[in-house]
Chains A and B, each alone.
Chain A
Amino acid sequence: MLARVYVTPKKAILDPQGKAIAHSLHALDYPEVIEVRMGKYLEVRLTGLSRAQAERRVEEMCRRLLANPIIEDFRFELVEE
């Protein structure tokens, strides 16, 4: 099973990287861009777990290590391979 984990900076946290990317997109003539938030994408490959177990384990991995809840939000999806 594959867990696709998305970690993004919390809304309230200043994201200078996202801001700089948005500026560059404007410079490339994409005025329709109103905001960019830059985060991380992780692929976590799992074995020997039921879907329900995987849900619980990955949630825990996110809280304990993959995201810092003070500055980041996370979400994930599980894909059968």
Chain B
Amino acid sequence: MKWGVVIFPGSCDDRDALYCLETVLGQQATALWHKDRDLHGVDAILLPGGFSYGDYLRCGALARFSPIMQSVCEFAHAGGPVIGICNGFQILCEAGLLPGALVRNRSLSFICDWVRIKVETSRTPFTAACRVGEILRLPIKHGTGCYVADAETLSTLENNGQIVFRYVNAAGEASETANPNGSLHNIAGVTNARGNVVGLMPHPEHAVESLLGGEDGRKLFRLPFTWL
């Protein structure tokens, strides 16, 4: 199992992602440079958090046109597993690999906090190790994390089981107070129709050691061999 972690100018969680995959989880991982097109034979791709291209124009809008993203799109269209975390999620939406968009938090504040999210489906490579209904505690750190989509898209997502994670309270309810940023339907992460591309705002790669507050993030990086 070999991961590729894409580095854009302005990415800042790429090192944490590589550390999480290699040092903590003992998997193979390699950095992929935004100007390259070669994916170096990786089995799965991670688009990390950060502020690619300074968040100019819109978050993720410019990263989408970098040479590596053409290869990432081809990889995704061929069914390869791709996960986008935070800025990576924004890039996947801008690239049209995931439905919807991320806009400024309802509060207008940058939020740095721990949240609870509920796993809504295990039919993606990244949630295959999770139980449906399982609650994960993960950190968030974003200013543009409010998930929006039109009504038709939202009902398609709901009906197809494409909502992967929802912000919930300790009781597992997707309540208004558990929603940190105003995301519609408390959505914290979604997948495409095929289920191989997943984006989420919370940071599983920052929650892999108890010393740093929790290990719940580890589960999302245990991909089943059937996807490879």
Give chain A's interface residues, CB within 8 Å of chain B: 9, 12-14, 16-17, 20, 65-66, 68, 70-71
Contact = CB atoms under 8 A, between A and B. Distances in A.
A6 B78 CA distance: 37
The secondary structure that dominates the B interface is loop
A70 B150 contact: yes
Given A12-B150, A13-B148, A68 B61 contact: yes
Contacts of B104: 16-17
Given A65-B57, A70-B100, 15 more contacts: A9-B103, A12-B150, A14-B103, A16-B104, A16-B105, A16-B107, A16-B108, A17-B104, A68-B58, A68-B101, A70-B101, A70-B149, A70-B150, A71-B101, A71-B103
Interface string B111-122: 000000000000
Most buried by A among B100, B101, B106, B107: B101
Interface of B: 57-58, 61, 65, 93-94, 100-101, 103-108, 146, 148-150, 182
Contacts of B150: 12, 70
B148 A71 contact: yes
Contacts of B103: 9, 13-14, 71
Contacts of B146: 14
Contacts of B100: 70
A17 B58 CA distance: 15
Nearest to B58: A68
B34 to A, nearest CB: 17
A63 to B, nearest CB: 12
